[in-house]
Chains A and B, each alone.
Chain A
Amino acid sequence: MTLQGKDLLGLLHKTESEIEYILDTAVPMKEIISRPLKKVPTLRGRTIVNVFYEPSTRTRTSFELAAKYLSADSVNISGSASSVVKGESLVDTARTVKALGADIIVVRHAMAGAAELMARTVSASVINAGDGAHEHPTQALLDMFTVREAKGTLKGLEVAIIGDITHSRVARSDIWGFSRMGARVRVCGPPTMIPHGIDTMGCKIFDKVEDALEGADVVIVLRIQNERQQQGLFPGLREYANMYGINSKRLGLAAPDALLMHPGPINRGVELTGEVADGQQSLIETQVTNGVAVRMAILYLLAGGGDANVPVD
């Protein structure tokens, strides 16, 4: 089994068996991070550079820890504190990072397609850690891993994604990933935040949040960004909470053993109440832990590159 290509740019073109292979590899990785001594020598001498043009705490830290647990060296470059502010182009930055010795480049950028542009420029592996409103494949993979761990399978599950679908790269990667793995995806949010034609991606659109939640096995709540209010996409945070916020009453409409997830950071009292965020059905913290395991799996799988063909038992 192997992954296609040197990069992980998105889930749109990933096959079911590739996704399954990544999720399977994350299982032993999770065992490693549960040990008192969280370190294996696997990627000794490999260099991983995180280039983040957008702020991020959990994704960047997660990649950094994943690299360290595998004994790779990792370095962070943030867009605001680098030559980017001096006007260096994305392509030139990619070449520089590669010339510095990077084997894997992890990139987050506000523009869709940024990771792909980098990937075409350099021979190093490129991992997309979020490009505009396009894709965030590692988030979707950790979501799938978390659901599979709790439910045993993704096949036949009803997955409801609630919130700002238009601006969410997580939603796109989740829709592609979960559908590819045999789950059925529903989306729901303010009509101004549901992009036209999203149903062609294979998901079902619901106007009322109650209808979207009815019988759902997984509820993924997206962060509502305050700046969207200024754009007039929804009238106010309280209005949003009233119309689409997930509380225990609404969560009760989902299947009795439904899982509640959120990519973080959460706005308590807006897209979900503190009560459900900290409740029995919430896997929000588990998602964070699983994110490290999934990213270890991806780093491991992309870090191949020798040329010896040794049979592997």
Chain B
Amino acid sequence: MGVEKGMREKARIMDQQGIGRALTRIAHEIIERNKGTDNLVIIGIRRRGVPLASRLAERIKEIEGSSVPVGVLDITLYRDDLSTLSQQPVVHQTEVKFSVQDKKVVLVDDVLYTGRTIRAALDAIIDLGRPSVIQLAALVDRGHRELPIRADYVGKNVPTSRKEVIAVQLEEIDGEDGVLILENG
């Protein structure tokens, strides 16, 4: 999520180096947990999960020397609040150009919050095939889950109040890397 209008910056909790280190550690954890990169695929959730997925794949290649396929998932059509919205959200394309059947899928998103996006993403992936396992990587886990969902890999656990907003900025989208806590002000 980018910086929204009318919000005041309360704290900067990760900078470029912090994000880089967290991703490097997660890349190692993914390789360790999956005992290498066999059958491994990485799928980023639009929007900011997408550059994070690519960065993880780059790091895994640096470490293991093997390329891991990267896909892009758009979960709009799987949202559970469509019938309550006054305006239909913009749909973007899902670009998963490989089969997920029997693959180890690592799902990547920037912020893990209520868990509803991940619920939608799980349905979206399962519509593409039957992976042997789906794991979740999130750069920030801010708590306040509304569904029984947890991350396998977390960059940083950040206790927040519901009034606050976590803004993840990534160079590919926002021009610079950083994680901010914002609040109304």
Q: Mark B121-135, 1 if CB is under 8 A from A, else 0.
A: 001000111000000
Kindly state whether residue A156 has any CB partner on chain B within 8 Å.
no
Are B94 and A28 in touch, CB under 8 angstroms?
A: yes
**How far does the Cβ of B139 sit from chain A's closest Cβ, in whole Å?**
15
Q: Which of B81, B86, B91, B127 has the largest number of chain A CB atoms within 10 A?
A: B91
Pair A41/B77 contact, Cβ less than 8 Å: yes
B156 within 8 A of A: no
Closest to B117 in A: A313
Given contacts A35-B127, A37-B128, contact A313 B47 (CB under 8 A): yes
User: Mostly helix, strand, loop or mixed at chain B's interface?
Assistant: loop
- Residues of chain B within 8 A (CB-CB) of A231 are none
What does the 1/0 interface line of B1-32 toward A look like (CB < 8 Å)? Answer: 11010000000000000000000000000000
- A93 within 8 Å of B by Cβ? no
User: Are B85 and A304 touching (Cβ within 8 A)?
Assistant: yes
A41: which of B47, B81, B123 is its contact (CB, 8 Å)?
Answer: B123
Q: Determine the chain B residues whose CB is within 8 A of the CB of A70 once the complex forms.
A: 77
Assess whether B127 is in contact with A37, with CB atoms less than 8 Å apart: yes
Given A35-B128, A42-B78, residue A311 in contact with residue B86 (CB < 8 A): no
Determine whether B83 belongs to the interface, using a CB cutoff of 8 Å to chain A. yes
Q: Which of A117-144 contact B (CB under 8 A)?
A: none
A303 to B91, CA, bound (A): 13
Q: Do residues B1 and A303 form an inter-chain contact, with CB atoms below 8 A?
A: no
Q: Name the A residues within 8 Å of B90 (CB-CB).
A: 1, 24-25, 312
**Is A308 close to B, CB under 8 A?**
yes
- Asked if A31 lies at the interface with its beta carbon under 8 angstroms from chain B, I say yes
A interface residues, tally (CB under 8 Å): 34
- Most A CB contacts (10 A, CB to CB) among B4, B87, B127 go to B87
Q: Least Cβ distance of A101 to chain B in Å? A: 14
- Docked Cα-Cα span, A168 to B95, in Å, equals 38
Which residues does chain A contribute within 8 Å of B88, judged by CB atoms?
2, 300-301, 303-304
Q: Is B65 an interface residue (CB 8 A)?
A: no
A238 at the A/B interface (Cβ < 8 Å)? no
Given A28-B94, A308-B81: A40 and B127 interface contact (C-beta under 8 Å): yes
> Which of these, A37, A39, A301, A308, contacts B85 with CB under 8 Å?
A308
Interface size on B, residues (CB 8 A): 26
Within 8 A of B (CB), among A18-46: 24-25, 27-29, 31-32, 35-37, 39-43, 45-46
Expressed in whole angstroms, the minimum distance between the Cβ of A104 and any Cβ of chain B is 13
Using A37-B128, A308-B81, A313-B1 as known contacts, say yes or no to A28 and B87 having CB atoms under 8 A apart.
Answer: no
The docked-state distance in angstroms from the alpha carbon of A46 to that of B82 is: 11
Given contacts A37-B128, A42-B78, contact A308 B92 (CB under 8 A): no
Q: Which of chain B's residues 35-52 have a Cβ closer than 8 Å to chain A? A: 47
The yes or no answer to B84 lying at the interface (CB within 8 A) is: yes
CA distance A25 to B95 in the complex (A): 14
Within 8 A of A (CB), among B64-85: 74, 77-78, 81-85
In angstroms, how far is the closest chain A Cβ from the Cβ of B59?
25
Contacts of A304 in B (CB 8 A): 82, 85-88
Contacts of A37 in B (CB 8 A): 127-128
- What are the nearest 5 A-B pairs in CB distance? A306-B84, A312-B89, A304-B88, A28-B93, A42-B77
Given A304-B86, A310-B81, 18 additional A-B pairs, CB 8 A: A25-B91, A28-B77, A28-B94, A31-B93, A31-B95, A35-B128, A39-B127, A40-B77, A40-B78, A41-B123, A43-B82, A300-B77, A304-B87, A306-B82, A309-B87, A310-B84, A312-B85, A313-B47
Can you list 9 residue pairs at the A/B interface with Cβ under 8 Å?
A: A28-B91, A31-B94, A31-B95, A37-B127, A42-B78, A306-B83, A309-B86, A312-B89, A313-B47
